[in-house]
Structure 1
Amino acid sequence: MLGDRANIVCLYKILEKYSDEEHILSMSDITGYFMQDYGMKIDRRAVYGAADTLIELGYDISVYKENGKGYYLRSRLFEPSEVRLMTDAVYSMHSIPQKQTADLLEKLQSVLSIHQRFGFKHLTSADADRKTDNRCVFYNIDILDEAISRQRRVSFDYYQYGLDKRLVKRRNEPYVVSPYGMVCDNQNYYLVCIK
């Protein structure tokens, strides 16, 4: 029985990775990808069964009976235009380090087929040199989100750049505040809080 469940998951992953409206997979494409990606030999009936199960579970899959060509994933978590919009937003955020920008974009684009991802290869950030070097941005956002939801106070040191372009503490003792929210403005995050 594990084989049937594995077939369902593998078929979905294959359709997600290789198919879209312009790249419809034939039965031989699908069985080839099962072997290539998972080392699994699968017959037509198992593919039919897995596709039927995915459709019953609510996945929007176009099948041969419907289009006369083969199989493809008709809708995705995000459409290419939505991924493009989020890609541009991530590129423009100065508060996200370059490495984390690349990681985020890879995750965002993973919901697209490999053919749709190809259209994103030419995109680059004009402001790459303005990105922060602080790799703790996401960690700090998580901590602040948790403090806000639990209504807990937080303490932190506030730094600013001096005339010599080095970070210096704004004051000797840490700030202790009650955070209420975070605002993203002008490509930076700001904490909304009271003392």
Structure 2
Amino acid sequence: RPTNYSIKNASRHKCKMIAGKIIPAIATTTASATGLVMIEMLKILQGKPLEAYKESSNNLGINTYQFSEPLPPSKAKEEEDVIMMETTVPVPDGFTKWDKTVIDKGELTVQEFLDAFKEKTGGVIWQLFHRLAIPSGPMIIGGARGDDAAALAKPLKDYCLELYGEHVISPGSTYIPLEVSAALDDEDETQIKVPQLVYKFA
């Protein structure tokens, strides 16, 4: 193998010496990381307050261990888009990346889903697409414009499978992660942003 990569060859004994130094380093690093993670897991099980949790930065080579309190997640706030010259409002105000907008009403058609989203957030969906997959058909589902009546009448789950393929819903999965472009149903059609959208169909 060293010859293949133009690296100086070494004897079997020297290779064993090098490996002997690397293996303990890997083992101790893995053990320390695993132990620290388990300590935090135990805090969760014990219901400790948020202040009890710690993140750590460790260097086993120089034997230093630093612990600090994690920063709170940033909160969504109203933003001014200087390019589009419009305001984007968070719904709900101050949500974080840990929040989700869950639509949990069983099997819904695309139109029923749009209505359920409006009921929950007050927003009208203009674009609806899968969070993680690339579609084989149109990139978006036309929402409020109603430009495809046939699509709006289809079950949303089936329409996602049709657009993106069977792989987007894992066997046994009961939800689909989605993204939207939406606006409030007002005169200004104020743009809104919502936490990650989850459609639970079962």
Please give the TM-score of this superposition, normalised by the length of structure 1.
0.27
Q: Which structure ranks higher in relative contact order (CA pairs < 8 Å, sequence separation ≥ 6)?
A: 2
Higher Cα Rg: structure 1 or 2? 2
